[in-house]
Amino acid sequence: MKRQVPPIVFYGIVAVALLVGASLLTKPGNPELHKGALIDQPAPAIEGETIDGKKISLADYKGKVVLINFWATWCGPCKQELPTLVALKKKYGAQGLEIIGLVSNDNLKNATDYAKDNQMDWPQLTATPEMGSLYGIRAIPASFVVNRKGQIAATIEGLVEPDILESEVKAHL
């Protein structure tokens, strides 16, 4: 005599399998799943002023690879990712890597102080709502690799694994 699995058990197993499969497919930092409409398009303009009054523009970095990082001091995953950015800047800065920090929904002074305390030696600007809209920001951290031609080469939403971010940066140096 065959035993039947009760429907509730069957559907429960199916639901768990779907959730596990979806989590594997949408793993944060998977560049293949986070490339969007901006890929191969000119990077939207970024202009702003640092806390000490220095004017910064993405256009100033023409010919360099730029990692644009939207972050905030209150964002746990952002803070978790920052040591990776520091290491990348140290490792690839001499090869033309630049980083621009765009502080989202946070006080620029707090973010700048945090950056100094954590060896983040790149400019920090306030992310305006317009910048967030142009880059399609839905959550932070969000990173964008801009190639030497000034085009978006990769977009990564959420906390990214260090090796994935490094491979994206390295591919465009």
Residue 140 lies in a domain: yes
Return the biggest CA–CA distance within the chain. Answer: 80
Residue 15 lies in a domain: no
At 171, the pLDDT band (50, 70, 90 cuts) reads very high
* 137 compared with 11, residue with greater pLDDT: 137
Q: Is 161 exposed, middle or buried (0-12, 13-18, 19+ CB in 10 A)?
A: middle
Residue showing tokens 């970095």: 61
Nearest-angstrom CA–CA distance, 80 and 121: 17
Residue 145 lies in a domain: yes
Residue 10 lies in a domain: no
| C-alpha of 37 from chain center | 16
DSSP 8-state code for residue 118: T
Nearest-angstrom CA–CA distance, 73 and 104: 9
- How many domains are contained in the chain? 1
pLDDT digits (tens, 9 = 90+) for 19-61: 444 443 334 444 444 457 789 899 999 999 999 899 999 999 9
Residue 91 lies in a domain: yes
pLDDT over 90 (residue 9):
no
CB atoms within 10 A of CB 15: 10
Task: Give the domain range for residue 153.
Answer: 29-170
Residue 9 lies in a domain: no
Residue 130 lies in a domain: yes
Tokens of 39: 């890929």
pLDDT digits (tens, 9 = 90+) for 52-107: 899 999 999 999 999 999 999 999 999 999 999 999 999 999 999 999 999 998 89
CATH number of the domain encompassing residue 113? 3.40.30.10
Residue 8 lies in a domain: no
